[in-house]
Every structure is written in structure tokens, then in C-alpha cells.
Amino acid sequence: MNIKDSIDITVIGLGFVGLTAALGFAEKGYSVKAYDSDIYKTRELSKGELPFHEPGLSTMLNKHLNENLVLCDSLEESLSDAKLIFICVGTPYLEGAGLDLSMLLNVVKDICRFSSKDAYPSIIVKSTIPPGTMRTKIKPVVEDCGLRVGQNIGLAYNPEFLREGNAWDDFMHPDRIIIGELDRVTSDSLVKLYESFTVPYAQVSAETAEMLKFSSNALLATMISFANEQALIAEHIGQVNIPELFRLLHMDKRWSGSPAGMINYVYPGCGFGGYCLPKDTLALKNAANQHGVEAKVLNAVMEVNLDISEHTVRKVIRSLKHRDEQIGILGLAFKPGSDDVRYSPAVGIIEALLDEGCTNLSAYDPMAMRNFEEHYGYPLKMANSLDEIVAGSDICVIVTAWPEFQVLTDHASDIRIIDARYMLENKEASVLVN
């Protein structure tokens, strides 16, 4: 039997995301039932007319309407025989209260009310929700209805990354498929569903998938605000050709390639250092102030850089059994492949640990130990090798992401490691599968 014949799909909520998903699955050959509580929207769609503008959807609607796509008059009707139920209802932002989940939670309750305990339907949320919602809000609602996730009903979070004006192409040719898993049956069913899309997929925790949706949009918003603040500063300085400034900025080769070099800057750690980034950011912030502009983005950049260093120290302190334990600092250079220790994150971390009364400190760096000793007079014992510092330490802190530290992945269960660069492989984490 064709896998497409065995998967009956229901899409609830026929807005921008829901209608695109319903038509996309129909285009892939699946049988799709769809429902929206707005009877006027349903009436327009049943006539082959879109209630909003989105290139390509009108053609697809008229192609699949009453064929692979059936519009239902009631939620109960749409759920008959459904195996995979996609919820795409709105979660509007309420000032001071966050996202309004009331419509989503009500739909979940109704699905549970109409679902048979013997059918094992899977509820897949596509609506944007705060991290933790699937496990702490939606799962309890389901189980309050007498169902048990993983026994007679499934749950997953499956975010969309659609751009208005490009929704159809983004759905049919996504960068990757993200499956936020709460039960394996549903997760594996989604893998089968998306097989024909032939793109990488990742089966991750629901919280990872929820956070990814937020992080993706927050990154874009941050870049826009950064660019706008730069233009604001440039206008106040005067004689800066702003369009030319950004055209030249975009010529940086780190924007291009696959993967682009800029991904190295969009990855967490324990802060940035070196000579250029701190100095130039502070200097531009000062220049903005001199011209009457409060550089809020740049202020936040420097504040977060300090905050993340302090956060790393707190993680170390919490992991200590007592202050006299031997702490090994792995990495002194501001980045791997360099012996430059100016403004290195290791400086602030070591100073803070000493202030906390942690005096048994040792360090190892493949290239920067001599420079560090010449620049700073901290009471550090320098180790001759990675093996030596690991053997002699009660806890190790990875401060610089030297490739040779990657071997510690195999020893993560044997020794206490604070991986401040997130470089060690998490063996429990799912990775993108092609």
C-alpha cells in the first residue's frame, strides 16, 4: 500500500500557515481534510477564493479543492479517520501577557473530546508557542481528557519558517524539517510524511523545536535593528553614504559560501574577545554618544558579553564541591588558531574565580600560554598537555574552542566539564539527517 494512502491528514486553522500546509500536503498526494472556525473564510475558500494575498496559493487551491483537499463544516467532521492532525491556529501577542494560547488549548481539548482512545491520532502543533508549551501546557490538557501521550495519542511540535510572499516555495522546498518530539510514534510518522520533501530533518526535543522558531525570528529582528541603529548613527555623524556602507558590508566573504562563515558568529560561547571586536564596538558606541545617539543595540552587545562570562563563572561555582577543588581552564587565547590573549574571555573568568576564592587554578592552551603569562600575573599553573590538565583537575572549563578539546566528548561522563563553548557532542541530541 502506498504510504500516502495510509496517512489521513487534518489541518485546523486555514490562515497563512494552515492553508499553505494543507495545500502543500495535497500537492504531495496526501488526502487532506481542513477546518476553520471562521465560516466566512471557509465560504470564500470553498468558492476557490483566497481571503488573503499569497502568490501561488490560488492556483493550488483551485487545483486541489474537492480533490485531495476537502473543506469541512465542523471540527468533528474534519477529525474522522485523521491520523495526523496539524493545528495552525493563531497565537496573538498580548501586551504584558505574552502569546494568547487560549484558542490553541481549546482546539486541543476539542480534538481529545472527538478522538477515540483506540485510534492513536497524533496532534502536531505548527502554531508559534513559547518554549515549554508542548510539555507543560498542551500535554497536561491532553492527559486531563483521559488520554496518555505515547499510549493512545501522540504529540509533536513541527514549526514552519514561511515568509509572506514566498510561503508556497518555502513550504515545498524548506531548508530543513524540524520535529519536536514527545512520543516516538508521532515523530517517526512525521519522518515518513516528509520523506518526499527530500531535505534534511531533525528529531529533537519539543523545547528545542519551540525555541528554534523564536530564535530564528529573533535573529532576523536583531539584524534589522542593528542595521537601523547603524544607519541612525551614520546619519548623525554625517557624510556617510549609507546605502554604499551596507553594500560594502555585504561584500564580506563571510556572508557567502555553504556554509557561510557568518554561522561561526551565530553560535554561543562564553563571550567574544581579541583586540578588534571589543575595542571597535566600544569606540563606535562612544562615537554615537558624542553625536547624540544612544546606541542601544551596541550597549546590549557589550552587556551580554559581560553577562555570559559571569554566567559561566556561576556554572563553575555551582559545580564545585568546595572552593579548594582544582579547576582546569582549557584555552587562554581569545579564539582557536591564535595566540592573542588580549581581552580574552579567559581573563574575566579567571579573575572572577579568584575573587570567589577559587585559588587552585591551572590552565592549558596549545599556543597562548607564554603570551598569557607575559600579559597577566595570575597565580596559574600551566599544564604541558591536555591529558595532564584533565588528569590533575577536579573540574575542567572549556573557554577556547580548540579542536583538540573535542576528544573530551568521550570522557564527558568520567570528569566534570563545563563546556562554555558548546563544542562537545551531545550523544543524546538528534542531528540533521539527509
Domains of the chain (ranges, CATH numbers): 3-214 (3.40.50.720), 277-431 (3.40.50.720)
What is 121-157 written as a DSSP string? -EEEE-S---TTHIIIIIHHHHHHTT--BTTTBEEEE
269: annotated binding-site residue?
yes
CA distance 101 to 124: 15
Angle, helix 296-319 to helix 276-290, in steps of 10 degrees? 140
161 is in an annotated binding site: yes
> How does 369-385 read in b/e, with b if 16+ C-beta sit within 10 Å?
bebbeeeeebebebbee
Does 213 appear as a known binding residue?
A: yes
What is the Cα–Cα distance from 296 to 289, expressed in whole angstroms?
Answer: 10
Q: Is 173 helix (H, G, I), strand (E, B) or coil?
A: coil
Backbone angle region of 178, left / alpha / beta, with phi > 0 → left and psi within -120 to 50 → alpha: beta
91 labelled ligand-binding: yes
Written as one letter, the residue type at 370 is R
Q: Are strands 177-181 and 154-157 parallel, antiparallel or unpaired?
A: antiparallel
- Cα 66 to Cα 2, 127, 293, distances in angstroms: 21, 25, 58
Residue 323 labeled ligand binder: no
Amino acid (one-letter) located at 299: N
Is position 186 annotated in a ligand binding site?
A: no
Determine if residue 163 is labeled as part of a ligand binding site.
yes
Per-residue pLDDT of the chain (434 residues; tens, 9 = 90+): 455 666 799 999 999 999 999 999 999 999 999 999 999 999 999 999 999 999 999 999 999 999 999 999 999 999 988 999 999 999 999 998 999 999 999 999 999 999 877 789 999 999 999 999 999 999 999 999 999 999 999 999 999 999 999 999 999 999 999 999 999 999 999 999 999 999 999 999 999 999 999 999 999 999 999 999 999 999 999 999 999 999 999 999 999 998 899 999 999 999 999 999 999 999 999 999 999 999 999 999 999 999 999 999 999 999 999 999 999 999 999 999 999 999 999 999 999 999 999 999 999 999 999 999 999 999 999 999 999 999 999 999 999 999 999 999 887 667 899 999 999 976 444 555 65
Contact (Cβ atoms closer than 8 angstroms) between residue 371 and residue 351: no
The residues that are catalytic are: 276
pTM listed for this prediction: 0.91
